[in-house]
Structure 1
Amino acid sequence: MGILSINMDDPMDVDALDAFLKIAEYRSLSAVAKLYGVPKSTLSLRLKQLEGELNTSLFLREGRSLVLTEAGQTLRTHAADILGRCEAARMAVAETLDDASGMLRIGATGEFGTAFYSQMLFAFRRRYPKVQLDLSFFSPHTLYLPERQEMMDAIISWDDGNAGQGGAEQLWTDRFCLYASRDYLARMGTPATPAELEEHQAVMFRQPAGPQLWLLQRDAETLSILPRSDLFANEYWTVKYFAVASEGIAYLPSFFTQIECERGDLVRVLPGWESAQQRVTLRVMRPSALSRRMGAFIDFCRDYFSPGYVFNGPRYYVETIFNPTNTTQTGEQR
């Protein structure tokens, strides 16, 4: 067992501590190098220098993962505190400036990263170019763990069940509906009632506990449907791709299919039926000590999700370009 020995005449490098914390989180030099764009050799050098200053090993290798030693666990607590104080100092200086600036760390559930969060944060960067962004996606099961919350300035979640805790603010709502391609409906017929869904093929989103149920309601009637399917994916872009590719009916939020419906690549199925409202919420981790950039982000989110806001930026969608298996269309899905 290594002894944590610190040489006070040779203060630890903040960059080395930051690298150490990132390696401790992801348990891999390669993963950190890929995620943060830092050469693996640089991370390795910083870690070796830190271990040399402390005269102890901070990690042990178990298979392909790095595991903290007892000394590493001790340093992790102190390193997080040191970097937190450094960030607080930077925030205090930034508060004296006229413009919002500095690093903003946002955690989010990752269901609709490119179509939802990336688009929103692109618009935020256009308005506040001096603010740096670090966006991390987590599953709803890990997003609200205490160690995650300590890393984040704010969390944006898509109806994850925890949003009501800690004073989260509702930004927006949407509903899931059923969608299919015109080619699929021409081939298989258009269901007129929920009961007729039994005759159709579904493209299913798979949650950790199993396939996502289709929860539909119309007036006072509520249904829970588990349709027949041989296509499952735990990523909504894949589900939408197969729906556009005429492989079945999919259960998707309306914002996520807007462009495909406008282009005619998808159409609503059973338009009178839809899910209950799904919430998008913003939870600020330290509301009693808002930085200028965090205040700017809160105001921007409220503006972005207001009815009159118009987004002017790149949008991402599944486009039918060339499909050699379909003689009535031109296009393979991308």
Structure 2
Amino acid sequence: MTDLNGMAIFAKVVEAKGYSQASRLTGLPKSTISRKISQLEETLGVRLLQRNTRGLSLTHVGALYYQHCANIVQEMEEALATIENTHQDITGMLRIALPVSFHQDAIATLCSGFLRKYPKVDLDIQFIDAEVSLIGEGYDIAIKYGPLDASDLIARLLVERQPVLVASVKYLKAHGAPATPQDLANHQGLLLGTPRSSAIWPIGVGAEKTMVQFERKVRVNSNTVLKQMTKAGVGIAMLTESVCHEELQSGELRRVLADYPLEPIKVYGVYSSRRQLANKITSFLDFFCQHFATHESLQPLMRSVR
């Protein structure tokens, strides 16, 4: 009889693109994984993986066999999720990947509140700029900004956040305020992004939206740093209303090009269809939606943390 555990390990090796990553994800030694794959190949009488100096690649029969293994693993995970949902308590490890630019103080507060509500859950939270492979890297949830590429993953819209262009009073006194989006080309812009991000802001909504270039003075992947540099008068930045609400209220920051609308930024929770029945995933996303729609809704949580 074929070893179902061996099939699951084979699927994990394929998805992780190698023994080392599969070992990290499963907690099994590489020697155990290698032995399981060899035993599976011996039982089947075929070669599933080609091993060379560049790594592993699937043979033709291995690629066909993997599809069946992946389906079986999915059925096993869905069966496990069904059992998990029969428990009153929500337990287990939940691995979450977020973009580095996400507001980290708010996430810390949110996750602290989630753990108080579900104390039997353990969290592994990673802020990552690179594209995340949920299955291959073992994450349960990835929080992502839209728009999203087409995939077989499930994407749940969590929240929409309204962006605003802002600058400090100090900057506006020194450089003046742009009157049109095209004037941004003559102003110092602070970009929230990664090395792959271009100095372009989308101005307008729908068919009226245009991509406007600006003079990039700073590029940083931290909302906190971006806001502090904007307050210091370094340049104009695109922040969300929730991030700079207090500064706008106090007048420390002022809106720029307020007559030009900006499309909302959409935030999604993405997870594998294999895990769509997992109670801990839906519980976290429900909690996220409930308490992270705006920063104001986090205030009760923040008071309880202190």
Give the TM-score normalised by structure 2: 0.65
Structure 2 vs 1, CA of residues 285 and 206 (structure 1 numbering), >3 Å: closer, same or farther? closer
Structure 1 contact 58–71 (Cα < 8 Å) conserved: no
- Structure 1 vs Structure 2: percent identity of aligned residues? 22
Rounded to whole Å, the distance in 2 between the matches of 1:136 and 1:115 is 14
- For structure 1, the 5+ residue unaligned runs are 1-7, 315-334
Give the match for residue 211 of structure 1: 198
Rounded to whole Å, the distance in 2 between the matches of 1:31 and 1:181 is 46
The 5 A counterparts of 1:322-333 are none
Q: Give 1:197 shift.
A: 3.3
Give the match for residue 330 of structure 1: none
2:187 is the alignment partner of 1:197: no
Give the match for residue 44 of structure 1: 30
2:83 is the alignment partner of 1:97: no
- For structure 2, the 5+ residue unaligned runs are none
Q: Give 1:45 shift.
A: 1.5
Q: Deviations over 1:275-305 (max 9, x none)?
A: 2222234567659x74544553454234224
> Cα RMSD (Å) of the superposition?
4.9
Picking from 65, 68, 78, the partner of 1:88 is 78
2:49 is the alignment partner of 1:58: yes
Q: Which has the higher contact order (CA 8 A, sep 6+)?
A: 2
What residue identity is the alignment partner of 1:46?
A: T
Rounded to whole Å, the distance in 2 between the matches of 1:43 and 1:183 is 58
Structure 2 vs 1, CA of residues 45 and 179 (structure 1 numbering), >3 Å: closer, same or farther? farther
Give the match for residue 124 of structure 1: 114
Rounded to whole Å, the distance in 1 between the matches of 2:11 and 2:167 is 46
Q: Give 1:80 shift.
A: 2.6
Rounded to whole Å, the distance in 1 between the matches of 2:105 and 2:52 is 38
The 5 A counterparts of 1:233-272 are 235=221, 237=223, 240=226, 243=230, 247-257=234-244, 261=247, 267-270=253-256, 272=258
Q: Give 1:78 shift.
A: 3.8
Picking from 138, 159, 168, the partner of 2:146 is 159
Rounded to whole Å, the distance in 1 between the matches of 2:77 and 2:215 is 52
Structure 2 contact 78–277 (Cα < 8 Å) conserved: no
Rounded to whole Å, the distance in 2 between the matches of 1:202 and 1:180 is 10
Match of 1:251, SS state, is strand
Structure 2 vs 1, CA of residues 26 and 130 (structure 1 numbering), >3 Å: closer, same or farther? same
Give the match for residue 229 of structure 1: 216
What residue identity is the alignment partner of 1:99?
A: D
User: Where is the helix percentage greater, Structure 1 or Structure 2?
Assistant: 2
What residue identity is the alignment partner of 1:276?
A: E
Match of 1:211, SS state, is coil
Give the match for residue 263 of structure 2: 276
Give the TM-score normalised by structure 1: 0.60
Q: Give 1:156 shift.
A: 4.7
Structure 2 vs 1, CA of residues 205 and 120 (structure 1 numbering), >3 Å: closer, same or farther? same
The count of aligned residue pairs is 287
Q: Give 1:191 shift.
A: 1.6
